Every structure is written in C-alpha cells, then in structure tokens.
Amino acid sequence: MIEMKVISKRFGKVDPLSIDSYIKHDGYKGLEKAISNHPSHIIDEVEKSKIRGRGGAGFPTYIKVRALSKEAGKKYIVCNADEGEPGNFKDRMIMENDPHSVIEGMIIMAYATGAEQGYIYIRGEYQIAMNIMKETIKQAKDKGFLGKNIFNKGFNFEIEIRSGAGSYVCGEEFSLIESIEGKPGRSRTKPPFPTEKGIHNLPTLINNVETFANFPYIITIGGDKFAQIGTNSSTGTKLISLSGNVKKKGLYEVPFGTSIRDVIFKLGKGVKDDRKIKMVQLGGASGPIIPEYMLDMSIDFDRFENFDSKTGTGAIIVIDDRFDIFDILLTNMKFFVHQSCGKCAPCREGHIQIVNLLNKFINHRATEKDLMSLENLANVIQQTSLCGLGQTSMTSIISSLRYFRDDYFAKVRY
C-alpha cells in the first residue's frame, strides 16, 4: 500500500456538517490534549514534528509559530484557503470533507500563540466549501470550542470567514493581508514579515489549510512520532492532487518519499488510452515541467528545492504525448498575464513579452536570438519581481529550457 491516510482518513466517513460525527471519529482529541499542556509545549511538539508548510514553499512551520507566540498584544491567525494554483484541489477537499479538522488546528495554534482572532480566507469560487466552513464555525461556537474562555482555560478565540473575489495573487501572504483589509490584493515588500507586521500592521501567522489540518494529528501522536513518517527533510504525509491525462484523476495521500511514478501508475492507474507521458508539471502553473525519465524522483521538499518554486503543493499534472510543450507553456504564461497585479514592471510587462516570444516559436518565426532573449527575460522576471508570483512564474519556462531544449531547437528558424 503506498497510500497512507492521515489527513484524509475521515473523508467519506464523517458527515462534514455534523460536529458530533467528527467527535465520534476522535475529533477535537488533539485540542483536548493540547490545552492540558502549557502553550510552549505545543510549539515544541510542532518543532519536533519537523512539519513544513503545505502551501507550496515548504517553510518550517515552527519558526513562524514561535515568532508569533513571542509577539505581545493583539495578533492574528489566518488559514490560507485561496487555492488558486491550477491543478490543486486538496484544500477544497479538506474543507468539504473534514472541515472541523481545520478549525481544530486553528484553535490549537491560537492556544499555542495567544492569538484571539482568526480568519479563513477562502477563494470566492469555492461556494460549497465556504458554506460548510461557516456552518462548522457555528457548531464549534455552540460547543464552546470557539468564543470566550474556551474549556475554562481563560483563552478566547474567534474565527471569521473572508471571501476572495477572483484573484490568484491573493494567495500570496501580503496580497492576502491586503485583501482581508478590504483592499486590492497588491503585495508589500518583505521584510517585515507577516509575523511581525501583518493585518492592520499587527503580527499575523498565515498557514495553508492542509498545514492546519495536520496540527491535531501532530499533537495526538506527538512530534517525534510524526517525524518518523516520510523522509528526513520532509515529514508526514502529503495530499496529492493528481490530474491531467491519467486514468484515475483524484486526491491521494502518501507519505513523503513516495515516487511520482508510483503516484501516477499505482494510484492513478497510468495514462489514459495507454499513451506515453510527454511531460509532467509539478505543483501547478508556477511549478516545473519535467520529462518522463525524471519520474522516479521522490516527493520531497529537498528535491523540489532544485526548482526553487512552489512545487510543494502536491499537484501532479500528467500530460501525454499528443501535446506540444509550447501549448502548455503558453497556457501557463497567459495565466500569469491575467494574474499579475501590475505593481512591478518585470512581472507586469515581462509576462506579455514572454507570451509574444512563445508565439514566435509556435509560428516557427523564432531565431536563436529569440531563444536567448527568452532565457534572459525569464531569469530577469524571476530575480527582480517584487512578490512570489513573478519570482515563481518562470519555473515552467526555465525547466523546459533545461529538459526540453530540443523542442525549442525544432522550432527555431535558421
């Protein structure tokens, strides 16, 4: 069995709209255990677990949590449920199937850090998840898990839902903060980081939905035990959104260290109509495109760092040999043209230029000079953009120049 169901173990088994059903399936046990200990103990457990963020970048979670706990005064906890990266649907699945696990994770973090206000920022397109999360918050309040003086421990915590309104960049931390404040989602320069100056310039912890859903489990089994799952650099399990030309698209949960090939062939049952794989895009539109011969690579943040991108969301998009790499690249780049917030020139102008260059290749009008221009421009956008959007959007171009160079040469006019 290559699957290991930890975060998805209750999917289909609990009634998402019933807190009693969740409690019957060991729900809120992690919270119960958490509050019987000192808050600093929880942060120690998170550190021992070695968990890294599930939103893409794979940043060690305990560093942010500890930083927030050290801040005095009013502070915020935000669950990032913006999930706009094409190819991802894991956060939606968590919210639709086991919403209380997210709330439980947020309450544990509130207790650990002393934050009294939480937000869940859900992309506007996720109407079903939004309604479920609203109901879930109401139920948790009625049971006394949210509100004032929770478990008679003298700690207070409230959660509000905020809706996105159709903007991919709002998944980026500072854009998200701007959006929660009711403004256009244009990013800010870092530092200061959100844990220092976030919402209303107050300390703010932002974590992904899947990251929050992991906390109850970490507390229940203990950080050391959690750290034994997966690999040295990437502990625990990962939800994988498998899509594209596979026989069985869907959500799968595997321990870190599982190979991409196994996910595609053992869980996804291989390629539709038994065609050949031409390429696989990892993470989403801002992730790398790799050739078939690299599929034995394991799902591991350290491996993903070679591409310095948001590969760690766990999306695997399989593309068979009927497709041309330029069609895929053009689709990705048009996405970024639409999604650029326009604040900085490399991203605002650069993506348009990249689209023009790609069209030259597609129309067989590109020269070797255009190939060099494409390569240079991609590097400039990556290195000089203000926020994570422009810093990661070039990953598919840069990786394709590395692994599919022949496809470029085949289109160059000499």
Partner 1 sequence: MNQIKEILNKYPKEEEYLIEILLEFQASKKNHYISSEDVSVISKYLNIPESQVCSVISFYTMLSMSPKGKYVIQVCHDVPCFVNSANNIYDKLVEELGVEDGETTEDKLFTLEITECLGRCNESPVMRVNDKVFVNLTPAKVEKIINDLRGENK
Tell me: does residue 45 bind partner 1 (CB under 8 A): no
Residue with Cβ nearer partner 1 (232 or 331): 331
**Do the strands 76-81 and 117-122 form a parallel or antiparallel pair, or are they unpaired?**
parallel
Site for ligand SF4 in 344-373 (CB under 6 A): 344, 347-348
Residue among 185 and 288 whose Cβ is closer to ligand SF4: 185
Nearer to ligand SF4, 162 or 343 (CB): 343
Instruction: Give the nearer residue to ligand SF4 in terms of CB position, either 97 or 340.
Output: 340
Residue 76 engages partner 1 in binding (rule: CB under 8 A): no
Does 169 interact with ligand FMN (rule: CB under 6 A)?
A: yes
Q: How far is the CB of 86 from ligand SF4 (least distance, A)?
A: 16
Query: CA-CA distance, 238 to 55, in Å (whole number)?
Result: 11
CA dist 187 and 175 (Å) reads 4
Whether the bond between 191 and the residue before it is cis, its omega within 30 degrees of 0, is yes
The interface mask with ligand SF4, positions 375-414, x = CB under 6 A, is ----------xxx-xx------------------------
CB nearer to ligand FMN: pick between 277 and 397: 397
Beta strands 237-244 and 117-122: pairing type? unpaired
By a kind-dependent CB cut-off of 5 to 8 A, residue 317 interacts, out of partner 1, ligand FMN, ligand SF4, none, with: partner 1
- Do the Cβ atoms of 63 and 49 come closer than 8 Å? no
Tell me which long-range contacts 340-345 makes (C-beta under 8 A, separation of at least 24): 340/169, 340/389, 340/390, 341/167, 341/169, 341/175, 341/184, 341/185, 341/186, 341/187, 341/387, 341/389, 342/186, 343/186, 343/187, 343/386, 343/387, 344/384, 344/385, 344/386, 344/387, 344/390
What is the 3-state secondary structure of 51-99?
CECCCCCCCEHHHHHHHHHHCCCCCEEEEEECCCCCCCCHHHHHHHHCH
Among residues 228, 283, 243, which one has the least CA distance to residue 58?
283
- For the segment 93-152, give every residue that binds ligand SF4 (CB under 6 A): none
- Which of ligand FMN, ligand SF4, partner 1, none has residue 287 at its interface (CB below 5 to 8 Å by kind)? none
Footprint of partner 1 (CB under 8 A) = 83-89, 92, 123-127, 162-168, 179-186, 241-245, 249-251, 281, 285, 317, 319-320, 323, 327-328, 331-332, 335, 338-339, 341
Footprint of ligand SF4 (CB under 6 A) = 169, 187, 340-344, 347-348, 385-387, 389-390
Footprint of ligand FMN (CB under 6 A) = 53-57, 59, 61, 80, 82-85, 169, 171-173, 206-208, 211, 387-389, 392
